[in-house]
């Protein structure tokens, strides 16, 4: 991000607070050496990690396990020219501990597309960045043209 690009940079705590309000985000990972993006529902765990629930047999579960990925969520109000975007990057790992898995069954994200066997994938947030635009105002003091 550039200091004068018209957006306000968000600190880590602001990013986590905003992520906690988003119902859906996007995982960016590598599929056959190309970038792939999938929308997913998710939740933030007690340590701020992004947790995703998916079918144990899914391509997503196998592609994410042990991979460095990006996770993005945002909210945009096109009419008001405002919104925010948060990107978290880190290592994704499948939850294999039975106690942790049981805890996430109770408190983790609910699958929008339930499968017979589901797994949880955690994305540890090693780098979190975010930016916000409020009411179309920029750091330059210029309002967008109507």
User: Could you tell me if 84 and 78 are in contact, meaning their C-beta atoms sit under 8 angstroms apart?
Assistant: no
Which pLDDT score, from 0 to 100, does residue 1 have? 47
Taking residue 94's Cβ as centre, other Cβ atoms within 10 Å add up to 16
**CA gap 16, 9 in Å, rounded:** 13
The pLDDT confidence band at residue 94, using thresholds 50, 70 and 90, is very high
Residue 137 confidence (pLDDT) = 57
Angstrom distance (rounded) from CA 47 to CA 51:
11
- The length of the chain is 146
pLDDT at 33 > cutoff 60:
yes
Averaged pLDDT for residues 47-69:
92
Give, in order, the Cα–Cα distances in Å from 71 to each of 52, 99, 103, 116: 11, 25, 23, 26
Residue among 23, 54, 24 nearest 40 (CA): 24
Reported as a single tens digit per residue, the pLDDT across 64-79 is: 889 999 999 999 988 8
Can you say how many angstroms the Cα of residue 41 is from the centroid of all Cα atoms in its chain?
9
More confident residue, 143 or 115: 115
């Amino acid at each position: 991000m550039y200091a004068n690009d018209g957006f306000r940079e968000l600190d880590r705590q602001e990013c986590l607070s905003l992520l906690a309000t988003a119902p859906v985000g996007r995982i960016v990972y590598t599929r056959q050496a190309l970038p792939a993006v999938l929308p997913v529902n998710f939740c933030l765990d007690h340590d701020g990690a992004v947790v995703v629930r998916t079918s144990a047999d899914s391509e997503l579960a196998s592609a994410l396990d042990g991979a460095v990925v990006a996770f993005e969520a945002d909210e945009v109000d096109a009419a008001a020219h405002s919104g925010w975007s948060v990107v978290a990057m880190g290592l994704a790992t499948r939850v294999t501990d039975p106690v942790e898995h049981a805890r996430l069954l109770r408190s983790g994200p609910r699958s929008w597309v339930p499968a017979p066997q589901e797994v949880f994938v955690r994305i540890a947030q090693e780098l979190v960045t975010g930016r916000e635009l409020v009411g179309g105002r920029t750091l330059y003091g210029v309002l967008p043209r109507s």
